[in-house]
Amino acid sequence: MNSHRLIDERSYEMHRVIARILSADPSCLDLVARQMDTRLADPDYSESLKDCVREWRGIVADGLDRVLSVLEDRSDEGQRLRQNTPFAILMPQEERMRILRRYRQNEPIRAGAHPAGV
């Protein structure tokens, strides 16, 4: 599997964890919405990233079912949206590290690479 495919699979798995968290406690969506509002109000936050936040803000405004649908969407559009996710704040660090370790075993080693992810 190529490195881009691994990154997409890793991101998808992390977002499935986030979807479970949101399903169990929908009020967590309020925390994400507040964080997005903070980013949008930050004059130092890049406009291109603000565009991503605005797109996610629209999805969040559509409600929890829509958010869950996007988080678990296997299409190219779902992949694209997960690349600039506002949900990292919900990802438990121990879950994140477990997933990163598992995928790191399968990733090709690249000089200077950083283990990115949610």
Q: For the segment 69-111, what is each residue's pLDDT rounded down to a tens digit? A: 999 999 999 999 999 999 999 999 999 999 999 888 765 555 4
* pTM > 0.85: yes or no: no
Residue with tokens 């994400």: 32
- Amino acid 29 reads L
